[in-house]
């Protein structure tokens, strides 16, 4: 989505142009300076969006950027300084902070998971469990955290989930039909049991997702997939469901290629920051 639209909607939602407090407290031509400060350790993401929020309110804001997206910050670090008219600075403060705090929170949580599997062959992927309209920037935050993006939308890849399988009689036949129509699209199947896995192998899909399986079942299904792989067909294995900080380390030890985690976008807490404002001459 065009970020200008997202920012416009966010400012409209907050009625930043009708800030009755700032307009009645601050003189129209009063100027102010501010510093953006990290209040806890984390990974930074969203600086451009932070700036754009203010520039939508007044194109004359000036910024000095001291940190970069994807860079780690420590509590107390100054991320940027800015100067401009005081009223639009105050009016845009919360919207700008909402963006950068949420995105930095996603990048920070993602980075924790990435560091846990560091040194293994396993890569961390996100999902489509994002705030509506927030997809592109959420997935950008995932990349800043060091992980990979799963499909961006429904047109990127064929992902046959449990509800699709309930309506399919012959998976191999359907996969062949799809490959004829969409030669360049990768195909993944979500599997919840042994029969799902065997059907996915028989259909020769590109990725097999093992969803919400316990460790015992996971090991059996991984062995099944590996033993039936050949020189010409070796699907990548993805684990999804039930992934948290306790389970991910054990999953990575299984030698699988991918782990997808919904919580890095739908449950990441915002990274605490503050915008400290003072009068500027």
What amino acid positions are annotated as catalytic residues? 94, 129, 161, 190, 211
Query: Do the beta carbons of residue 240 and residue 259 sit within 8 Å?
Result: yes
Cα-based angle 258, 262, 265 (whole degrees, multiple of 5): 115
CB atoms within 10 A of CB 116: 17
Could you identify the residue written with the tokens 């009016």? 91
- Name the burial class of residue 35, with classes exposed (0-12), middle (13-18) and buried (19+) by CB atoms within 10 angstroms of its CB: middle
Query: Do the beta carbons of residue 109 and residue 263 sit within 8 Å?
Result: yes
Query: Side-chain half-sphere of 87: how many Cα atoms within 13 Å?
Result: 17
Instruction: Name the pairing type of β-strands 78-85 and 62-65.
Output: antiparallel
Of 273, 26, 270, the C-alpha closest to 141 is 270
Query: Do the beta carbons of residue 266 and residue 126 sit within 8 Å?
Result: no
Token digits of residue 24: 């009645």
CA distance 122 to 59: 44
Please list, in sequence order, all residues whose beta carbon lies within 8 angstroms of the beta carbon of residue 231, skipping any fewer than 6 positions away. Answer: none
**Could you give phi then psi for residue 266, rounded to 5 degrees?**
-95, -15
């Amino acid at each position: 989505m065009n970020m200008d639209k997202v920012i416009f909607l966010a400012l409209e939602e907050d009625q930043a142009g009708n800030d009755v407090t700032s307009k009645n407290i601050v003189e129209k031509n009063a100027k102010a300076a501010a510093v953006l400060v990290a209040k806890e350790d984390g990974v930074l993401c969203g600086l451009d969006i932070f700036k754009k929020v203010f520039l939508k309110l007044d194109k004359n804001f000036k910024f000095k950027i001291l940190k970069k997206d994807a860079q780690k910050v420590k509590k107390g670090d100054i991320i940027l300084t800015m100067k401009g008219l005081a009223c639009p600075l105050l009016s845009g403060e919360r919207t700008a902070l909402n963006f950068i705090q949420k995105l930095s929170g996603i990048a920070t949580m993602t980075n924790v998971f990435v560091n846990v599997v560091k040194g293994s062959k396993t890569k961390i992927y996100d999902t489509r469990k994002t705030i509506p309209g927030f997809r592109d920037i959420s997935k950008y935050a995932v990349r800043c955290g060091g992980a990979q993006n799963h499909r961006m939308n429904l047109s990127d890849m064929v992902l046959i989930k449990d509800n699709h399988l309930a309506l399919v009689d012959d998976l191999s036949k359907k996969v062949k039909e799809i490959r004829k129509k969409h030669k360049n699209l990768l195909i993944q199947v979500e599997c919840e049991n042994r029969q799902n896995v065997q059907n996915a192998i028989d259909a020769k899909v590109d990725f097999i997702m093992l969803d919400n399986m316990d460790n015992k079942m996971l090991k059996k299904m991984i062995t099944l997939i590996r033993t039936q792989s050949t020189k010409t067909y070796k699907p990548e294995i993805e684990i999804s469901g039930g992934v948290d900080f306790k389970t991910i380390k054990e999953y990575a030890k299984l030698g699988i290629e991918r782990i997808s985690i919904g919580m890095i976008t739908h449950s990441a807490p915002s990274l605490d920051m503050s915008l400290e404002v003072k009068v500027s001459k």
